Chain A
């Protein structure tokens, strides 16, 4: 049971990285972004291209850090991939959503467009990489560490938790200490007043996409490190991510973080009683129950 909770926390980190971006995009841009999961997949695959093609070609050695399954190549690939997905997210905003915003399109049209973006990204990934499961480093044995209380955890998984915490702290500092971060919070509070104050809200929207895209890309890479890569991986995360976002009250970053952990743990713990294939229905059930009982989420105002 404790092992399941621990693994739930690890999965929760990945869900939370997705949910934080989703919640920010929803609050500031006003889009329920169904492509968020596929941004996650894209991040994982861009990192794959980096570690398996680009960085070997540049001559970065194939090192490994102690007990971890990766080395310098991944350390470089990680931020590059985050940046790449950030720009892709901005690209789709300029190409598509900006025009729809200008026309004052409603929420359903925006959500459907993002569904279109989701399919485009996933199909491109399928065409380029095929539908097989792939690993960042195939054929590597990755033994778990045995901790007290019968907890088994792989060194990679400790890295996953640390990276997620690091990114969340970084985001927190950005939002509370920098001018752009404060302007982002201001825009999320009151977009009209932000405009009147002299804040170019289109710029804030670009920043929001960038942060949302980068965080979810990080989630995808971390999942890839922990498990494997697959073109449908991000899509499968979409329901848990939405559930975490709604649970934590839409628009609330810290709520999304907590929501991510709750959903992650709930999904894993459910495998003690149910088939593992019921993980997604479990997340879906939680989402439905919240929507019925407390649609404003646990951190929402009445």
Chain B
């Protein structure tokens, strides 16, 4: 059974104009699922709708069978979902350590083990733990953003273009980290511009265009599909 199901969702930034038009998508336990598609397709909008930042005007978002559509984001976080937005995904004036502490805001238990886990995944963060996050480079910010999301010990992680703006060497290392996170049992829904790389590490993929799901299949099938290759994978 799918752990997260977006069922026929219509949503937008204003009630009059929808960006997503009856979109359906599923994430199964333990999977990495990629969402690819051109700029403005509605990929980020979809993640915002899942996380309660936008209220769908139609359809359901089912988390383990429970409809969470329109629930406030802070309640969704309590259900084991974590989200790394595409932009503005850190607290710039807080230190790295404080960013991670905020990630654990809703936890009442001892989270020092989780923080050690994040530090061993991203050792740079430990070295620079008392640096303000706003002064970091793009790659390190992305690490802080992912680290913050992991502090919840989420069962599902939503990532919006984690490799955006990173130098090529960082891109492959961030994808390695994502695989490592997935190996610990976290199901991951990832939006990516580096569509080829993303599909290579994921189980399945969805192609979005103009707020609609135009294709979904196993990653290998999408990678070998001529149309997808021409239109979205850069030939």
Given the contacts A197-B148, A199-B105, A190 and B91 also touching, CB distance less than 8 Å: yes
Please tell me which one of the listed residues A182, A192, A195 contacts residue B101 in the complex, with CB atoms under 8 A apart: A182
Q: How far is the CB of A98 from chain B (nearest CB, A)?
A: 14
**Using an 8 Å CB-CB cutoff, how does the interface string of B97-131 with A read, 1 for contact, 0 for none?**
01001110110000000000000000000000000
> Do B90 and A193 touch across chains, with their CB atoms under 8 A apart?
yes
B19 at the interface (CB under 8 A from A): no
Assembly CA distance A196 to B72 (angstroms): 9
Please tell me which one of the listed residues A185, A189, A197 contacts residue B105 in the complex, with CB atoms under 8 A apart: A197
> Do A196 and B51 touch across chains, with their CB atoms under 8 A apart?
yes
> Do B152 and A198 touch across chains, with their CB atoms under 8 A apart?
yes
B164 at the interface (CB under 8 A from A): no
Write out the residue numbers on chain B whose beta carbons fall within 8 Å of the beta carbon of A190: 88, 90-92
| B62-70, B77-85, B211-219 - the one binding chain A | B77-85
> Do A193 and B88 touch across chains, with their CB atoms under 8 A apart?
yes
> Do A193 and B89 touch across chains, with their CB atoms under 8 A apart?
yes
Write out the residue numbers on chain B whose beta carbons fall within 8 Å of the beta carbon of A197: 74, 77, 102-103, 105, 148
How many A-B residue pairs lie within 8 Å, measured between CB atoms? Answer: 65
> Do A192 and B152 touch across chains, with their CB atoms under 8 A apart?
no
Assembly CA distance A182 to B77 (angstroms): 18
A245 at the interface (CB under 8 A from B): no
> Do B106 and A193 touch across chains, with their CB atoms under 8 A apart?
no
Write out the residue numbers on chain B whose beta carbons fall within 8 Å of the beta carbon of A198: 73-74, 77-78, 105-106, 152
- Of the listed residues A183, A189, A198, A199, the one surrounded by the most CB atoms of chain B closer than 10 A to its CB is A198
A186 at the interface (CB under 8 A from B): yes
Assembly CA distance A199 to B72 (angstroms): 10
Name B72's closest neighbour in chain A (CB-CB). A195
Chain A interface, number of residues (Cβ within 8 angstroms): 17
Write out the residue numbers on chain B whose beta carbons fall within 8 Å of the beta carbon of A182: 94, 98, 101-102
Please tell me which one of the listed residues A192, A199, A200, A201 contacts residue B102 in the complex, with CB atoms under 8 A apart: A199
Write out the residue numbers on chain B whose beta carbons fall within 8 Å of the beta carbon of A185: 91, 93-94, 98
Please tell me which one of the listed residues A179, A186, A192 contacts residue B94 in the complex, with CB atoms under 8 A apart: A186
Write out the residue numbers on chain A whose beta carbons fall within 8 Å of the beta carbon of B102: 182-183, 186, 194, 197, 199
Write out the residue numbers on chain B whose beta carbons fall within 8 Å of the beta carbon of A201: 74
Q: How far is the CB of A227 from chain B (nearest CB, A)?
A: 37
Write out the residue numbers on chain A whose beta carbons fall within 8 Å of the beta carbon of B83: 196
Write out the residue numbers on chain A whose beta carbons fall within 8 Å of the beta carbon of B101: 179, 182
> Do A199 and B94 touch across chains, with their CB atoms under 8 A apart?
no
Name A195's closest neighbour in chain B (CB-CB). B73
> Do A196 and B53 touch across chains, with their CB atoms under 8 A apart?
yes
Write out the residue numbers on chain A whose beta carbons fall within 8 Å of the beta carbon of B51: 196
Assembly CA distance A183 to B51 (angstroms): 20
Write out the residue numbers on chain A whose beta carbons fall within 8 Å of the beta carbon of B94: 182, 185-186, 189
Assembly CA distance A199 to B103 (angstroms): 9
Q: List A181-219 residues whose CB lies under 8 Å from chain B.
A: 182-183, 185-186, 189-190, 192-201
Q: How far is the CB of A188 from chain B (nearest CB, A)?
A: 8
- Of the listed residues B74, B89, B93, B152, the one surrounded by the most CB atoms of chain A closer than 10 A to its CB is B74
Q: How far is the CB of B144 from chain A (nearest CB, A)?
A: 11
Q: How far is the CB of B98 from chain A (nearest CB, A)?
A: 6
Task: Please give the residue numbers on chain B whose beta carbons come within 8 Å of chain A beta carbons, in ascending order.
Answer: 51, 53, 72-74, 77-78, 83, 85, 88-94, 98, 101-103, 105-106, 148, 152
Apart from A196-B73, A196-B74, what are 12 other A-B pairs with CB-CB below 8 Å? A182-B98, A192-B53, A192-B85, A192-B88, A193-B85, A193-B91, A195-B73, A196-B53, A196-B85, A197-B74, A197-B103, A198-B77
Task: Please give the residue numbers on chain A whose beta carbons come within 8 Å of chain B beta carbons, in ascending order.
Answer: 179, 182-183, 185-186, 189-190, 192-201
Those 3 A-B pairs whose CB atoms lie nearest each other, nearest first: A198-B77, A198-B106, A195-B73
A sample of 29 inter-chain contacts (CB < 8 A) reads A182-B94, A182-B101, A182-B102, A183-B105, A185-B91, A185-B94, A186-B94, A189-B92, A189-B93, A193-B88, A193-B89, A193-B91, A194-B91, A194-B102, A195-B72, A195-B73, A196-B51, A196-B53, A196-B77, A196-B83, A196-B85, A197-B77, A197-B102, A197-B148, A198-B152, A199-B105, A199-B106, A200-B74, A201-B74
